[in-house]
Chain A
């Protein structure tokens, strides 16, 4: 703190609006908005668009708040990793206290307003998600077990459950399957990123699977998860939200996922190759894969809405 020419006290560490926005972890927020939004749309036909919009804003703010709290707690390891060293706290743009208060405010604000806009069940689920991400994943699991991302991945899998609860005030079997889909998708997605940023994690001493069990074991786990993921995502085809479109395309998407995981498994890992082409391919494909599956559910929903007899017609055609 210094005193300026006009006798006004100035903090040398004045964060800009963009620094605060960076604290929200926009990429994670985007995933939460998209998956919750799709779940909200496909679960009900009579949700008011303004209530849906208000609820989506609350879910986004909740995700942003937990992102800020995660950055507050992890600022010491963020500083050491190349990928995260430019985040606002390690970069000195925002102080830890500012990030903490911003995160706490957004988290409480989002839960209260979700309860007012939608219902108590969805607000309770949002509060649980934020608490799970901060207290269980960030503060406990991340620095203690190599399976941190397996259990911690549940936090990222909750948004479809919240979205479903917003429009139906229940937790259906379909929403649970959507939860399971993201829950099983997270480990192969994140471990492929870990293979690319392995050097960073070895500096920080975070017990990632690549460090504790080695690259080979991680690749094998990625392959096993790709198979379990395929089963769980194809099962969705046989529920109320699935259908023929989803079934056919999810078969293709899952086959490619398993193929990339297999290619990664059989190819030797070269830590000196800075490009990591196979790892990057799987990482980028996993993002596309999840986006496409949720998009297919949306297409399936609107097809049923516009052509209610489509499932019967296709069934008849198959029998012919």
Chain B
């Protein structure tokens, strides 16, 4: 068995696999970023954590 050939072949496969993984993770990060922007611009979720006085909480 030619070990050098085998090693090259395996390294090639690993390289392509790592590239695919990097690309998919990178694209997923971009998606998460835009989904976060979309969710935050909705405004509903951040109301409880903005540390400002909300008139709706004040007892009459």
Contact = CB atoms under 8 A, between A and B. Distances in A.
Counting chain B CB atoms within 10 Å of each CB, the highest count among A17, A48, A54, A117 belongs to A17
B44 to A, nearest CB: 12
Contacts of A53: 31, 34
A10 B7 contact: yes
B3 interface: yes
Q: How would you classify the secondary structure of chain B's contact residues: helix, strand, loop or mixed?
A: helix
A16 interface: yes
B22 to A, nearest CB: 11
Interface string A1-45: 010111010111011110010000000000000000000000000
Contacts, number: 49
B38 interface: yes
Nearest to B19: A17
B31 A17 contact: no
B31 to A, nearest CB: 5
A65 B15 CA distance: 23
B38 A48 contact: yes
A81 interface: no
A10 B10 contact: yes
Given A5-B4, A5-B7, A57-B31, A50 B37 contact: yes
Given A10-B6, A14-B10, A15-B13, A54 B35 contact: yes
A51 interface: yes
Interface in B14-57: 14, 16-17, 19-21, 28, 31-32, 34-35, 37-39
A17 B25 CA distance: 14
A50 B10 contact: no
Contacts of A57: 28, 31
Given A5-B3, A17-B16, A117 B10 contact: no
Interface in A31-87: 48, 50-51, 53-54, 57
A51 B32 CA distance: 9
Given A17-B16, A17-B17, A54 B3 contact: no
A6 B38 contact: no
Interface string A95-136: 000000000000000000000110000000000000000000
Contacts of A16: 13, 16-17
Contact of B7 (A4, A20, A50): A4
A8 B7 CA distance: 9
Nearest to B20: A17
Interface of B: 3-4, 6-7, 9-10, 13-14, 16-17, 19-21, 28, 31-32, 34-35, 37-39
29 contacts: A4-B3, A5-B4, A5-B7, A6-B7, A8-B7, A10-B6, A10-B10, A12-B6, A14-B9, A14-B10, A14-B13, A14-B14, A15-B13, A16-B13, A16-B17, A17-B19, A17-B21, A20-B17, A50-B31, A50-B34, A50-B35, A50-B37, A50-B38, A51-B38, A53-B31, A53-B34, A54-B32, A54-B35, A57-B31
